[in-house]
Amino acid sequence: MKIDDYLATLAPSDRSRLLGQLEGLQLAQRLISDQLAELNSASGEDDAAIQQLNNAIAMIRLAQVNLGNGIARFPILDVAEQFAIDRIS
């Protein structure tokens, strides 16, 4: 099932919420990627921090793939988004 087909099955309020969460995930992914690039270029890299950022990116990508397959539910997006936000702050 494609994302457009899945979105068409949702009520307008659910569709709006899901699209908002996807935008939040994309923003979090960009912020994490920027921080990861910063860490990679800094001297004295912190391997644990880099691994946490990589894990956050992996969770976001998984949520996006699941969303694209039409099988994601709101809780997985909430969890992935919160995980990413926690790692950024």
Q: What are the extents of the domains in the chain?
A: 3-88
Which pTM value belongs to this model? Answer: 0.50
Report yes or no: 80 and 22 within 8 Å, Cβ to Cβ: no
pLDDT tens, N- to C-terminus, the chain (89 residues):
566 777 788 788 888 887 887 787 777 777 777 777 777 676 555 677 777 777 777 777 777 776 666 655 555 556 666 666 666 65
DSSP of 51-67, one letter per residue? HHHHHHHHHHHHHHHHH
Tell me what pLDDT residue 88 has: 63
Torsion of the alpha carbons at 80, 27, 69 and 86, rounded to the nearest 10: 0
